[in-house]
């Protein structure tokens, strides 16, 4: 869990950086997107690893949750779980499932169309009406306020997930020390808030400049 | 000639143990696998013995009534463990530890046993460190020591205020290793309810499984009882709620002599009682007397003002305080032995100077220590002009590292901050020096039945020094019993497996079932605790810190009365063949009600004051020692070993005369 | 002495034995002094039940000074109740108010089956330690001198802190996953922090973790509830240390 989580954290940072370019320069965003979409190392080596990482994280998460629930077949009649642990840490499965549902929408919006164009239609040019389609494609998706709302909500869940997940991954790997653990915690909080917030800003930006 | 043969080896005292070990019979490894040993109790003595015997190759069955061997009451020992290591270079030696222990025990212990204890003490520390017991260390990485009552050297090793816990976890880990290998079969939540004697030898036990009430028989070539002390006969004591005398008492009724039952240690530093609902008393480690000063107000008016809440103890100036231990015993001051400190507290409280509502409390004050440590720390830190507040802060920090957990415990129980206001303490029943009579090999008067640790009477005489119980438990369990038991078992190699299908086992099981059924069938009107509390009150009032012939005679009659009522009127709900805590308690109280009487009988017959046993009839009438306990070596220099005779009060007295060849008998003085 | 005691409503789990189905029952108690410990309050209830001819509530307890680790109640939704750094036997009634309703349940975990009422079977903890909770040294006493190997005070103190675990099971009880990692982490750390325990540290971690999994405890998801509820304040550092030992041992095996 921890390793796949850390891997996804790294991926998220990369995803965020590219998305951020869409705010500053459509051309740059297009260039990078085309590179990512057509480079064979990324497409045939990194992409499967990422998909594996996502699926692994999801299935292991669900499996462990089921197993952990099984470790307490009889629940407490009266429990005050909040007295000793944060909501985030206790509800990773909920925030995780919300992010997973979002991933479905996200794939439907972007990944499936890309795959269709490249692998079914066989069009690897990245062009549409004489120009790169990536920025336009992204930009148009954020017209619909409901979709923007869903995206923003999903990022909130992502933030909650990361608020616990970031430092939890370090703890699970045994990387804990009185000197650097407080730093890890601070970086974790910063990451868990800044990255999802950034995604929200990007989504809102595209929605608002229409 | 007495029927008691202590089997103390010949020769000079310092060679006795070595010579004995060299001459003792051994069992060869192949034969050990065929020999069963039962160990009852898994505290320091039992746990250490079970682990050692299993390591040596015997087939061991271990029993404890707790849900895990790690919970035996040795775990609650706080202060430390003595050992003659002389790491502090303060002149300590085996002889000095031996001498202090004999003197501390008021010359009522057996010299040879005590010397052996002192001799193996250093090995205990080596052994425990090798097992990973995290003793306190200094910054240089070496082991730290502190001092305890009744001695003038620093020889106590400790692990904060949880030394017993750490040592027990060490013994438990040694057991775990053997349980994991299948060499020890462990029975948790099992209570021994009888000893089975076949042809005069201990051959097994009858136990009840607390979980389902099942009674079962277990046979062995030898039975080791390491079942602790019987302080709970007082109902209120620092013992765990489950601590009991049953195993030892059943052995006594099967022929093991019970020695010196009246020797009880009343520990001076316990948290005072707060109400009638109180279920137990909590000890504050004696180590606190290293740094705490004990006092009561000098003037009775101040006592009244404090009791009514008009004055706070911190408002009293130095000359309004009576540091009575420092006043009476300038040489040892606050570090006099436990019996002396307890009696002195009682004397002040009886005179009306007790500082709480019940009039049964004295102060244990850390303010001088906090100031002293604070100044030291400020000097070390180079803070020359430290304010009083800063010094207090630094001093509290030092005290916190030394006794933090004890202070926290006090604060949780009493709801008062002991860093700011002095602690209130009062003596409470803590340890019983008496127990099953054993010879030098730790064998009781029943061949094949051994007693180790607090369960036997051996090493502490009439008063135990602080930090010596852990030492004795581990010495018996790790280093003494595993050797000496071989001497007996060497003759057992031809016995073969012992069947539990014999008339003796049958009869013992039947008797146990009969007793349990009788108890269940009484269905009277009063709870078990009702009787236990009444017994406790009689014991405390008349067989407690100070005793006299009249009170003891009354106590004997009253205990008999309570016992009679118990067997007519106790009410035990629930069933026989199920988890039934009330029934379990009832079996224990039934035995306490018998032991209590023998206890008083013993106290009555010993018309002298020695150690924890104080007879009002026997005090120094004049001179420097006026008012102090007066020992009578002419008439009472013996171990009183009582033989069961159908009724606890009718027990036959056998005397083991004590010989003091290496230590001159003297009036104990801590002045 | 408090003049007037509290009146309380207790809701307590009653279960005849491991096979029966249990349920919560309600009992009133009156005139409870604030100076009583929680278990003394239950003593009062039991005395009352015995007088009424009813079966008293069974609960584990022994030393009543917070060190044996026998007591084990889930009180008002928290292991060992609302106070911190105390066991149930050290919890005092001054933490409660007149008129309160108090819920009392046994530890809940698959690995801790209920034996009766509030008593659970924690022998799983023992079995984990049989698998490796020791340093393999015989008890002959013929080891090296205790001061032959100086041990850094910090390591000795850390080992001691880990060793203060009383094995009560509050970590399991308070963990949403009924995980025993704080307990096992403490037991592993206690030895692995000392030079004499380092030698077999890898095998110890592997064997104890394996047994822990076999017992049916859940996994650690780092909620940190165990550390908060632990009466002895055992630190999460111990879980990290165990993870480290376990991972490196797994890689090397």
Q: What is the pLDDT of residues B381-438, one digit of tens each?
A: 999 899 999 999 999 999 998 888 889 889 988 999 999 999 999 999 999 999 999 9
Coil, helix or strand at residue B655: strand
CA angle B481, B484, B488 (to 5 degrees): 120
Contact C92 B137 (CB under 8 A): no
Do C105 and C129 lie in one domain? The reply is no
Q: Same domain, yes or no, for C134 and C153?
A: yes
> Which of B444, B415, B112 is closest to B274 using CA atoms?
B415
The fraction of chain A above a pLDDT of 70, given in percent, is: 100
Question: Which residue of the set B116, B338, B534, B668 is catalytic?
Answer: B338
Interface of B with C in 338-397 (CB under 8 A): 357
Structural domain range at position A57: 2-70+87-208
Contacts B75 to C, Cβ<8 Å = 63, 67-68
- Domain span at residue B439? 13-266+432-492
Quickly state the pLDDT bin for B79 (edges 50, 70, 90).
confident
C168 has a chain A CB within 8 A of its CB? no
The pLDDT assigned to B3 comes to 86
For residue C135, give the nearest of B132, B188, B212 by CB distance.
Answer: B132
Pick the last residue of a domain from C61, C84, C116.
Answer: C116
pLDDT band of residue C3 (cuts 50, 70, 90) is: low
Indicate whether C130 and C239 sit together in one domain.
yes
Asked about B338 being catalytic, the answer comes back as yes
Chain A neighbors of C77, CB-CB under 8 A:
76, 78-81, 83
- DSSP tag of C110: T
pLDDT over threshold 70, residue A77 = yes
DSSP state of B8: P
Integer CA distances (angstroms), B41 to B44, B224, B227, B473, B578, in order: 9, 9, 5, 12, 22
- Other beta carbons within 10 angstroms of residue B313's beta carbon come to 18
Which pLDDT belongs to residue C140? 87
Would you say residue B305 has pLDDT above 90? yes
Residue with tokens 């502490």: B460
Give the pLDDT score at C1: 41
Mean pLDDT, range A201-210, rounded to an integer: 93
> Is B669 part of any domain?
no
- Strands B215-219 vs B293-297: parallel, antiparallel or unpaired: unpaired
Structural domains counted in chain B: 3
Residues of A at the C interface, defined by Cβ within 8 angstroms: 64, 67-81, 83-86, 89-90, 92, 164, 167-168, 171-176, 178
The average pLDDT across B3-29 equals: 95
Q: Where is the domain boundary, B379, B402, B429? A: B429
Q: Are residues B259 and B276 in the same domain?
A: no
Q: Does the residue B655 lie in any domain?
A: no
B120 and B255 share one domain: yes
Evaluate whether residue A76 is within a structural domain: no
Number of domains in chain A: 1
For residue B222, which of B59, B113, B65 has the smallest C-alpha distance?
B59
Question: Is A98 inside a domain boundary?
Answer: yes
Shortest Cα distance, chain B CAs vs residue C216, angstroms: 19
B76 near C CB under 8 A: yes
Q: Which one of C9, C162, C177 would you mutate to disrupt binding with A, by most A Cβ within 10 Å of its Cβ?
A: C177
B509-526 pLDDT, tens digit each: 999 999 999 999 999 999
pLDDT band at residue B669 using 50, 70 and 90 as cut-offs: confident
Shared-domain flag, residues C38 and C94: yes
Q: Using one digit for the tens of pLDDT, what is the confidence trace for A11-68?
A: 999 999 999 999 999 999 999 999 999 999 999 999 999 999 999 999 999 999 999 9
- pLDDT at position B578 is 96
One domain for residues B35 and B179: yes
Which structural domain, as residue segments, surrounds residue C47?
A: 6-116
pLDDT at residue B26 greater than cutoff 90? yes
**pTM score above 0.80:** yes
Q: Check whether residue B231 and residue B144 sit in a common domain.
A: yes
User: With an 8 Å Cβ cutoff, are C105 and A75 in contact?
Assistant: no
B229 part of a folded domain:
yes
Give domain status of residue B650, yes or no.
Answer: no
Nearest CA among B265, B618, B620, B244 for reference residue B429: B265
| DSSP element (H, E) containing B449 | strand B449-451
- B180 and chain C: CB distance < 8 Å anywhere? yes
CATH number, domain containing residue C157: 1.10.1060.10
Structural domain total, chain C: 2
pLDDT band at C2 (very low <50, low <70, confident <90, very high): very low
- pLDDT tens, residue by residue, A102-114: 999 999 999 999 9
Indicate whether this complex's ipTM tops 0.90.
Answer: yes
Report the residue of chain C nearest A80, measured CA to CA: C77
Q: Which residues of B258-297 are buried (b: 16+ CB within 10 A; e: fewer)?
A: bbbbbbbbbbbbbbbebeebbbbbbbbbbbbbbbbbbbbb
pLDDT tens for B108-161 read 999 999 999 999 999 999 999 999 999 999 999 999 998 887 788 999 999 988
- Same domain for C143 and C244, yes or no, is yes
User: Of the candidates C97, C116, C135, which is a domain's last residue?
Assistant: C116
Chain B positions touching C157 (Cβ under 8 A) are: 134, 137
pLDDT of residue B147: 84
pLDDT at B341: 94
Domain presence at residue B41: yes
Do A and B count as touching (3 or more CB pairs closer than 8 A)?
Answer: no
Q: What is the mean pLDDT of residues C37-63?
A: 96
Give the residue-averaged pLDDT of B60-84: 96
Would residue A134 count as lying in a domain?
A: yes
CATH number at residue A191: 1.20.1300.10
């Amino acid at each position: 869990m921890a390793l796949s989580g850390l891997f996804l954290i790294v991926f998220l940072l990369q995803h965020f950086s590219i998305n951020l370019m869409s705010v500053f320069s459509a051309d740059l965003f297009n260039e990078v997107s085309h590179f990512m979409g057509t480079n064979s190392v990324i497409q045939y080596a990194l992409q499967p690893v990422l998909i594996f990482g996502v699926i692994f994280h999801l299935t292991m998460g669900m499996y462990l949750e089921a197993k952990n629930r099984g470790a307490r077949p009889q629940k407490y009649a009266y429990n005050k779980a909040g007295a000793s642990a944060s909501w985030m840490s206790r509800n990773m499965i909920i925030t995780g499932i919300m992010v997973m549902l979002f991933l479905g929408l996200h794939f439907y919006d972007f990944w499936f169309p890309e795959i269709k164009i490249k692998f079914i239609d066989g069009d690897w040019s990245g062009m549409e009406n004489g120009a790169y389609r990536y920025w336009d494609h992204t930009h148009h998706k954020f017209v619909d306020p409901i979709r923007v709302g869903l995206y923003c909500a999903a990022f909130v869940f992502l933030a909650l997930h990361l608020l616990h997940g970031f430092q939890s991954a370090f703890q699970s790997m045994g990387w804990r020390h009185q000197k650097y653990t407080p730093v890890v915690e601070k970086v974790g909080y910063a990451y868990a808030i800044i990255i999802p917030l950034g995604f929200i800003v990007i989504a809102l930006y595209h929605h608002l400049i229409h | 000639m007495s029927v008691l043969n202590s089997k103390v080896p010949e020769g000079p005292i310092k060679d006795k143990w070595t010579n004995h070990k060299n001459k003792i019979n051994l069992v060869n490894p192949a034969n050990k696998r065929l020999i069963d040993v039962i160990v009852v109790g898994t505290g320091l003595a039992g746990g250490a013995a079970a682990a050692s015997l299993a390591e040596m190759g015997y087939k061991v069955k271990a029993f404890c009534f707790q849900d895990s061997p790690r919970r035996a009451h040795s775990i609650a020992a706080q202060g430390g463990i003595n050992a003659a290591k002389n790491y502090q270079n303060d002149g300590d030696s085996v002889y000095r530890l031996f001498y202090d222990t004999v003197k501390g025990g008021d010359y009522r212990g057996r010299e040879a046993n005590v010397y052996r204890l002192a001799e193996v003490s250093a090995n205990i520390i080596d052994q425990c460190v090798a097992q990973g017991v995290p003793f306190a260390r200094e910054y240089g990485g070496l082991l730290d020591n502190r001092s305890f009552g009744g001695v003038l050297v620093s020889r106590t090793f400790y692990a904060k205020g949880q030394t017993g816990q750490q040592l027990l976890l060490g013994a438990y880990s040694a057991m775990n290793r053997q349980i994991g290998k299948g060499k020890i079969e462990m029975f948790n939540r099992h209570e021994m309810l009888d000893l089975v004697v076949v042809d005069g030898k201990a051959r097994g036990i009858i136990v009840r499984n607390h979980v389902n009430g099942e009674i079962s028989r277990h046979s062995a070539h030898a039975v080791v009882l390491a079942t602790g002390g019987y302080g709970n006969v007082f109902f209120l004591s620092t013992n765990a709620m489950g601590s009991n005398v049953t195993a030892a008492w059943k052995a006594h009724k099967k022929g093991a002599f019970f020695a010196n039952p009246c020797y009880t240690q009343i520990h001076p530093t316990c948290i005072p009682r707060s109400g009638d609902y109180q279920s137990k008393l909590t000890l504050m480690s004696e180590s606190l007397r290293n740094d705490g000063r004990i006092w009561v107000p000098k003037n009775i008016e101040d006592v009244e003002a404090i009791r009514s809440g008009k004055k706070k103890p911190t408002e009293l100036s130095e000359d309004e305080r009576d540091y009575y231990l420092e006043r009476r015993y300038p040489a040892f001051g606050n570090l006099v032995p436990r019996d002396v400190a307890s009696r002195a507290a009682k004397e002040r409280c009886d005179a009306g100077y007790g500082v709480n509502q019940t009039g049964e409390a004295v102060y244990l004050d850390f303010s001088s220590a906090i100031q002293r440590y604070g100044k030291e720390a400020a000097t070390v830190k180079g803070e020359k002009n430290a304010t009083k507040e800063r010094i207090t802060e630094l001093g509290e920090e030092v005290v916190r590292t030394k006794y933090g957990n004890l202070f926290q415990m006090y604060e949780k129980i009493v709801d008062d901050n002991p860093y700011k206001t002095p602690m209130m303490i009062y003596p409470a029943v803590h340890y019983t020096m008496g127990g099953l009579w054993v010879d030098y090999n730790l064998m009781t008067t029943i061949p094949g039945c051994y007693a180790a640790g607090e369960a036997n009477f051996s090493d502490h005489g009439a008063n135990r020094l602080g930090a010596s119980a852990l030492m004795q438990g581990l010495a018996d369990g790790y280093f003494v019993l595993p050797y000496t038991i071989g001497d007996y078992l060497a003759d057992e190699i031809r016995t073969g497996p012992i069947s539990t299908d014999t008339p003796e086992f049958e009869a013992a099981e039947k008797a146990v079932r009969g007793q349990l059924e009788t108890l269940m069938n009484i269905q009277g009107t009063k709870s078990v605790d009702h009787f236990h509390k009444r017994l406790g009150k009689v014991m405390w009032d008349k067989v407690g810190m100070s005793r006299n012939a009249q009170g003891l005679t009354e106590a004997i009659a009253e205990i008999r009365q309570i016992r009679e009522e118990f067997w007519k009127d106790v009410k035990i709900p629930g069933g026989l063949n199920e988890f039934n805590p009330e029934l379990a308690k009832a079996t224990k109280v039934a035995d306490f009600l018998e032991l209590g009487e023998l206890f008083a009988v013993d106290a009555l017959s010993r018309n002298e004051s020695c150690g924890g046993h104080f007879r009002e009839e026997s005090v120094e009438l004049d001179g420097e020692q006026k008012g102090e306990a007066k020992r009578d070596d002419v008439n009472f220099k013996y171990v009183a070993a009582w033989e069961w005779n159908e009724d606890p009060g009718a027990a036959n007295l056998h005397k083991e005369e004590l010989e003091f060849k290496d230590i001159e008998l003297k009036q104990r003085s801590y002045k | 002495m408090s003049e007037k005691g509290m009146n309380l409503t207790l809701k307590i789990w009653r279960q005849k034995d491991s096979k029966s189905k249990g349920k919560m029952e309600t009992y009133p108690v009156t005139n409870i002094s604030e100076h009583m410990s929680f278990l003394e309050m239950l003593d009062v209830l039991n005395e009352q039940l015995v007088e009424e001819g009813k079966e008293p509530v069974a609960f584990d307890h022994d030393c009543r000074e917070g060190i044996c680790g026998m007591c084990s109640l889930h009180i008002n939704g928290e292991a060992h109740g609302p106070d911190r750094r105390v066991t149930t036997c050290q919890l005092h009634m001054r933490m409660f108010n007149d008129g309160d309703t108090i819920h009392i349940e046994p530890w809940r975990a698959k690995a801790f089956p209920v034996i009766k009422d509030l008593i659970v079977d924690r022998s799983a903890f023992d079995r984990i330690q049989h698998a490796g909770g020791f340093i393999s040294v015989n008890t002959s006493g013929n080891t090296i001198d205790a001061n032959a190997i100086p041990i850094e005070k910090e390591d000795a103190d850390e080992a001691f802190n880990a060793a203060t675990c009383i094995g009560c099971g509050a970590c399991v009880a308070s963990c949403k996953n009924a995980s025993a990692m704080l307990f096992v982490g403490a037991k592993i750390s206690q030895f692995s922090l000392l030079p004499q325990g380092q030698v077999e540290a890898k095998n110890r971690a592997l064997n104890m973790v394996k047994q822990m999994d076999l017992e049916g405890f859940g996994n650690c998801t780092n909620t940190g509830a165990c550390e908060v509820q632990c009466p002895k304040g055992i630190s999460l550092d111990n879980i990290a240390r165990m993870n480290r030992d376990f991972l490196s041992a797994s890689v090397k095996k």
